[in-house]
Structure 1
């Protein structure tokens, strides 16, 4: 796996950039940690390739190591009694097919008191229940979180600030986290998406065995598609004229509005495990509106955890609608809409083996049924023939460690 520059050097350089010279000269209270995954998956079809939206480039081989393999290093430098700087660098396959490290976290934290904390910089976007541990695969039972849910919002970081207010509630603790900022991701084929002026709030309730999550965020959405399918469809619609000439403005641009809501619940008493989450995306253009849910039940037996996951994503509204008389243009438009529709349902059975301290081996088998007129979480070998309505079986293996 190629990673340029070295992750540790990237981390040190980032910390040096954010710290004042006077603080860099003092003896630091520095803590370094890391995590890594070596993962592989194989499908039972040769005409589709698995991918994670906004995460990696679709593999061209049935045996794919790029979907889940990653390594991350995190450093925290305490400054005084009330504040610290944290930087996290991650190397994983990008939509461009390389492994160049990126800065996933880079924030300053100030603890006003035991109940109130302010953070500013690059933060994890709290769109999901498991957002804070999104890259740390060791933290959850699956090889990867269910893509029906976690593929619905590929933005994982925002550059901005949040406020954490912790309030005791009997045996539980309530955490309120208002946040704002901007986010940007690269997509395959030189495409990119940007969230501007994101504002939202995350509410979490945690106890000994139970945790719950509610989140809602809104922002302005900018999308630039760079794939050949989009270019051909946009050119054809513009050339057709009339009402169709205005449709490309619904497919890409910088005038979109997006809303994202999620709710989750987790029960873990050390023997039994239940994880449930439901999410909803509402967008007025550029991407489709959809909803998704997942339910995982598991049981631990010694060092093994066996689990079953049911998941579903459903499209509520396509990217755009148009009445097209030309058969060739209509087919191209339908193919474009299918490529932006990840609707599917899946059943997954798996096992996690904690064979050593801070290390786990996982194996899971998924059976996905892709909705008609959708790609689901699979990239077809021939984009003109989307795998809608097909079943795909995926065997996934991973070795996860934290250090």
Structure 2
């Protein structure tokens, strides 16, 4: 049964935004004279899962996906974005971007960009306000499906990136070497926004106020582009559903049964813990052939966000308006060991408590692989169609929702999308 997920409020907002853009097109000369530009992007996508035993999600901001909540969905990939750019003077610009997509609240427009940019010369650019979090290559534009080959960026790699934007500042310094290679150094800092559902649809926590610090070094020469990046997130808030469990470890009964109960509570919590993202990317784009390879390591000092690796390799070949492509992606936990062992001669109730804790930690482990085959067709310079089939094997359930106990972890996802920019 087709489940649309499109509330009346979203449809009304969409009509309003389209009307605004139509007005902008009719008044192009006026907009240019006022140094104002209205642009936008959108995707109308449909996805079908071959299983009803688990929900496949696009990323961890989504409480539900396609599968258990409905075998077919228009909501997994569909979105609409509108951006207003204002040129203030020769060196100063401002931008605002609204995005409506399925996340915590279905298709409620959110303010994803709101910044002022200062460019004193050709080498340096400074931004202050709400900006995109590009911890990985392509991360800042992963909602603009027109700009890349796939229906969606590889979920095993990008899906666990829990921050989309932050309030703060960034600085980009660009320069060339003697061989006409282009270097870019970027630094940023600020405070995260939003909510994440990591490993379980009920285990959400707020990212608001969590501190972000990071940067990257990028190099581009000819057909080759490479980037190394490092970011860290200092989590301000705790899992709300975990608070009663952590408090229980500080009570007298558990402190008696577990000598290191207070230390265990500290290791399980997320508050004041650091999530570190280390990434590397390499892209070859020459003529019709494009090859991308990316690798990342995510690490924390919390048992409830186990360390993991992720990578993908993708190749595409342009033939006129047609671009077939193939992608192999995977994520793996760093350690396969059961982290918690009950004390010797522990009573049955305590053994069960440790089992429940290990089950909760296990649900946060990231072990999934996907083989994707697809085809992109360029309708025009501003729109395209895409078809994609994903063979997904999820051996641990960090990137799925509502999984049945007897689900074998395998599904096929069939997707199609119409993508545009204006």
How high is the TM-score relative to the length of structure 2?
A: 0.82
Contact residue 222 and residue 254 of structure 1 kept, 8 A:
yes
Partner of 1:209: 223
CA shift digits 1:219-276 (9 cap, x unpaired): 412343245xx47865776664423464343333422022111111111223001011
2:192 pairs with 1:192: no
Which residues of structure 1 form unaligned runs of 5+? Answer: 11-26
Instruction: Give the C-alpha shift of residue 138 in structure 1.
Output: 0.7
2:346 pairs with 1:329: no
Partner of 2:55: 49
2:89 pairs with 1:80: yes
2:143 pairs with 1:135: yes
Structure 1 pair 231/394, CA: closer, same or farther in 2 (3 Å)?
A: farther
Q: Helix, strand or coil for the counterpart of 2:360?
A: helix
| Corresponding residue pairs, total | 380
How far apart, in 2, do the equivalents of 1:208 and 1:353 lie? 26
Q: Helix, strand or coil for the counterpart of 1:254?
A: coil
Q: Helix, strand or coil for the counterpart of 1:312?
A: strand
Contact residue 40 and residue 83 of structure 2 kept, 8 A:
yes
Contact residue 63 and residue 401 of structure 2 kept, 8 A:
no
How high is the TM-score relative to the length of structure 1?
A: 0.86
Instruction: Give the C-alpha shift of residue 346 in structure 1.
Output: 1.5
Contact residue 40 and residue 66 of structure 1 kept, 8 A:
yes
How far apart, in 2, do the equivalents of 1:288 and 1:116 lie? 38
CA shift digits 1:329-382 (9 cap, x unpaired): 3442233123212311111111111123311111111112222xx204221344
CA RMSD of aligned residues (A): 2.7
How far apart, in 2, do the equivalents of 1:240 and 1:47 lie? 37
Q: Helix, strand or coil for the counterpart of 1:337?
A: helix
Structure 1 pair 117/353, CA: closer, same or farther in 2 (3 Å)?
A: same
Q: Which protein is richer in strand relative to its size?
A: 1
Instruction: Give the C-alpha shift of residue 53 in structure 1.
Output: 3.1
- Correspondence 1:3-402 to 2 at 5 A: 3=9, 6=13, 28-59=34-65, 60-96=69-105, 98-169=106-177, 170-188=179-197, 189=202, 191-194=205-208, 196-227=210-241, 230=242, 240-241=254-255, 242=258, 243-244=260-261, 246-285=263-302, 286-317=304-335, 321-324=339-342, 326=350, 328-371=352-395, 374-382=396-404, 385=405, 387=407, 390-402=409-421
How far apart, in 1, do the equivalents of 2:356 and 2:74 lie? 32
Contact residue 211 and residue 236 of structure 2 kept, 8 A:
no
The structure with the larger Rg is 2
Contact residue 7 and residue 89 of structure 1 kept, 8 A:
no
How far apart, in 2, do the equivalents of 1:7 and 1:123 lie? 23
Contact residue 128 and residue 262 of structure 1 kept, 8 A:
yes
How far apart, in 2, do the equivalents of 1:274 and 1:180 lie? 31
Contact residue 162 and residue 196 of structure 2 kept, 8 A:
no
Partner of 2:29: none
Partner of 1:22: none
